[in-house]
Amino acid sequence: MSIQHIAIIMDGNGRWATQRKRPRTLGHQAGVKSVRKTIETTVKAGIPHLTLFAFSSENWNRPEKEVSKLMDLFLSSIQKETPELNAKGVQLNFIGDLSRFSDKLQIKMQQAAANVPENQRLMLNIAVNYGGQWDILQAAKQCCEKVIESPDLLPHLGVDEFASHLSLADQPAVDILIRTGGEHRISNFLLWQSAYAEIFFEDVLWPDFDENHFQSVVDRFLNRERRFGQTSEQVNA
């Protein structure tokens, strides 16, 4: 059973720092190191798609100072990491409503996504100002616009046509959805794309998530039976 797409809700940076009596921003910095390790592990495992939940549409409600520090960290990480990632065959792709970010940050994201590695080994999707409900809503609006222009399309509007307007429309569905930090919810992340994902809620805080934790999830996934609505007998046959 091959793995084409892993998605991760990277939770626990703030709590990691609080446990050490350090500022929450230090936890986010430590989280960047785990991002780097996870990307390397994914490439090494030969898994072609990885989506990381970096900043949700609800995260704007956090303290203004923390959000500002996150934006600075996001910008500096893009500038620092992109050349090295491209050299390793990693293609960057940003999903979400990017219009709310500063012009400077939007330009940096566009430039990073435009850099195509010579030998692509991983499509790295970074979800920023993203929400699954927003994703579905904007796809519905696009479908409505098409139907308004051509009413005859309505009877033919099916799942595939609708999904073609979603973020990650040209990428495989999520096989594995991981959430670190011990919480048991998916927090409005890739709602459509994770319809049949195997979900793993891990107690480890994100800065402590390493190659061993990653491999443990992969091993448990490979021991699960994915039926997609069928019976075990049908799958085995």
Q: CA 105 to CA 67: how far, in whole Å?
A: 14
* Residues 6+ positions from 172 with CB-CB distance below 8 Å: 4, 5, 49
The tokens describing 119, both together, are: 């030998």
The tokens describing 28, both together, are: 């986010």
Instruction: Spot the catalytic one: 11, 13, 125, 175.
Output: 11
* Residues 6+ positions from 188 with CB-CB distance below 8 Å: 56, 57, 58, 131, 132, 133
Q: CA 34 to CA 196: how far, in whole Å?
A: 26
Is 59 considered catalytic here? yes
- Position 42: which residue type? T
Q: Are 204 and 36 in contact (CB under 8 A)?
A: no
Instruction: Spot the catalytic one: 59, 86, 97, 188.
Output: 59
Is 11 considered catalytic here? yes
Q: CA 144 to CA 142: how far, in whole Å?
A: 5
The residues annotated as belonging to the active site are 11, 59
